[in-house]
C-alpha cells in the first residue's frame, strides 16, 4: 500500500510538472508551403493546442514581415505570441524572392507581389479545415504595415486589419524620409534610369545589381542616419534579430516597381472592417501611421506606445501584443 501510494503521488507530481512545462513551452511552428502566383512560399504555421472537438474551426491571422526581413524574426514572434494567447491559428511567411521562398531574381522587392503574397496566404488558410474562412485577420510589420492594408483595401476576406510600425515603401523610396505627398526626390529620375539600365544589363547576362537595405556593420552606422536605419543594424545584424536567410540585400531595379506604389491611397476601402495601427511615440516613422489612419474611415484606432521607436516594436512586445490580442479576439 505504501509503494502504491508513493507511485500515485509520484505520478501526480510528474503530471503537474508536465502540465507546467506545457503551459510555459514555446509554441513551435509547422513548416508549410503555399502557392503565390506560381511562386512557392515558405511559411510557419502556428497551431496552438485546443480543447475544441470534432471539425470545429477557429480564427486565423496572417502576419507579414518587414522589407529585408523573414518569418523567423519579428513577424514570427508576433505570430507565435498571438497564437499562444488567443488559441487562433497564425501564419508567418517569407515573401516571394525572399528568405526560403522561391522566386527569381532573388531579393526583388515588388510591392504588388508582396500584397498578392498576403492575399494568397489568406487563400491558403481558407483551405484548412481548422480555419474559419469568415474569421481571418491580417497583421503587417514595417513595410508589411503598408502591404497588408493595401491588400485589405480590395480583399474583403480580411476581416480585421492591423499594423505595427507601418511604412509606405513607395513614398519612402520616391519622396525620401519624413515626407508624404510632397515632391519627388531630385535624384529619382536618375535612379529610375539606372534601374532601367540594370534590366537591360541583366537581359545581356550581367549579374543582378544588389545593394544593402540598412547598415551592414557598426562602422556604417553614422549619426546623420535616421534612427530607423541606425537601429536596423542593431536588430538585423546582431544576435538580437539576425537570421542567415535575411542577408540585407535589395535588388536595385526594384525601384521602378516601388516608385509609384502607394500603400495608403485607398484606406477608406477597409471600412467597415476594423483597423488598428500601432506605433511608438519615438518612432521617426510614426507619420506614416498618422497619415494612414487619417485617410481611413471608422472603425479605426491609432495606438501609440510611449517611449518606443520603430525598431523597438520588433521585439519589445509587452504592450503591442496584448493590444493585438484584444483587437483580434474582439473582432474575429
3-state secondary structure of 77: helix
Interior/surface letters 93-105, b for 16+ CB within 10 angstroms, e for the rest: bbbbbbbbbbbee
Q: What span, in angstroms and rounded, lies between the C-alpha atoms of 59 and 76?
A: 17
Contact 159, 137 (CB under 8 A): yes
Q: Can you give the pLDDT at residue 50? A: 80
- Res 181: pLDDT: 85
118 contacts 62 by C-beta, under 8 angstroms = yes
| 228 neighbors 48 (Cβ within 8 angstroms) | no
Q: How confident is the model at residue 53 (pLDDT cuts 50, 70, 90)?
A: low
- 284 neighbors 227 (Cβ within 8 angstroms): yes
For residues 35 and 76, what is the distance between their CA atoms, to the nearest angstrom? 19
Kindly state the percentage of the chain with pLDDT values over 70: 91
| 316 within 8 A of 203, measured Cβ to Cβ | no
Q: Give the pLDDT confidence score for residue 174 in this predicted structure.
A: 96
CATH class (in words) of the domain with range 2-331: alpha beta
4 pLDDT band, cuts 50/70/90, is very low
**DSSP per residue over 5-69, as a string?**
HHHHHHHHHHHHHHHHHHHHSPPPPEEEEEEETTEEEEEEEE-------TT--EEEEEEEPPTT-
pLDDT for position 14: 40
Q: Residue 112 and residue 109: Cα distance in Å, rounded?
A: 9
User: Is the confidence at residue 5, as pLDDT, over 50?
Assistant: no
**pTM of the prediction?**
0.91
Q: Tell me how many degrees the CA angle 17-20-26 measures, rounded to the nearest 5.
A: 125
Sheet of 39-46, strand order: 30-36, 39-46, 89-93, 58-64, 131-141, 158-164, 275-280, 300-305
Q: Where are the alpha helices (DSSP H) in 100-226?
A: 111-126, 144-154, 169-175, 188-203
Give residue-wise pLDDT tens across range 214-258. 999 999 999 999 999 999 999 999 999 999 999 999 999 999 999
Amino acid at each position: 500500500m505504501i509503494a502504491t501510494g508513493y507511485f500515485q503521488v509520484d505520478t501526480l507530481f510528474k503530471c503537474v510538472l508536465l502540465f507546467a512545462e506545457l503551459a510555459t513551452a514555446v509554441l513551435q511552428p509547422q513548416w508549410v508551403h503555399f502557392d503565390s502566383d506560381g511562386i512557392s512560399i515558405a511559411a510557419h504555421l502556428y497551431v496552438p493546442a485546443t480543447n475544441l472537438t470534432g471539425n470545429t474551426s477557429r480564427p486565423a491571422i496572417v502576419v507579414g514581415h518587414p522589407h529585408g526581413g523573414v518569418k523567423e524574426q519579428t513577424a514570427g514572434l508576433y505570430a507565435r505570441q498571438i497564437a499562444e494567447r488567443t488559441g487562433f491559428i497564425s501564419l508567418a511567411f517569407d515573401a516571394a524572392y525572399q528568405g526560403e521562398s522561391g522566386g527569381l531574381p532573388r531579393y526583388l522587392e515588388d510591392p504588388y507581389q508582396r500584397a498578392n503574397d498576403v492575399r494568397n496566404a489568406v487563400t491558403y488558410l481558407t483551405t484548412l479545415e481548422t480555419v474559419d474562412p469568415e474569421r481571418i485577420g491580417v497583421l503587417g510589420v514595417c513595410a508589411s504595415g503598408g502591404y497588408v492594408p493595401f491588400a485589405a483595401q480590395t480583399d474583403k476576406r480580411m476581416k480585421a486589419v492591423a499594423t505595427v510600425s507601418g511604412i509606405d515603401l513607395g513614398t519612402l523610396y520616391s519622396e525620401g524620409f519624413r515626407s508624404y505627398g510632397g515632391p519627388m526626390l531630385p535624384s529619382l529620375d536618375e535612379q529610375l534610369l539606372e534601374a532601367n539600365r540594370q534590366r537591360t544589363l541583366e537581359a545581356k547576362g550581367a549579374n543582378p545589381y544588389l545593394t544593402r537595405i540598412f547598415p551592414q556593420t557598426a562602422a556604417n552606422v553614422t549619426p546623420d542616419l535616421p534612427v530607423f536605419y541606425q537601429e536596423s543594424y542593431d536588430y538585423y545584424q546582431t544576435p538580437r534579430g539576425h537570421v542567415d536567410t535575411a542577408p540585407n540585400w535589395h535588388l536595385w531595379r526594384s525601384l521602378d516597381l516601388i516608385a509609384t506604389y502607394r500603400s495608403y491611397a485607398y484606406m477608406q476601402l477597409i471600412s467597415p472592417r476594423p483597423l488598428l495601427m500601432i506605433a511608438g511615440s519615438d518612432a521617426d516613422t510614426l507619420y506614416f501611421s498618422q497619415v494612414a489612419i487619417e485617410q481611413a474611415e471608422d472603425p479605426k484606432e491609432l495606438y501609440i506606445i510611449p517611449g518606443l521607436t520603430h525598431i523597438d516594436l520588433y521585439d519589445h512586445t509587452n504592450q503591442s501584443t496584448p493590444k493585438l490580442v484584444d483587437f483580434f479576439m474582439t473582432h474575429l
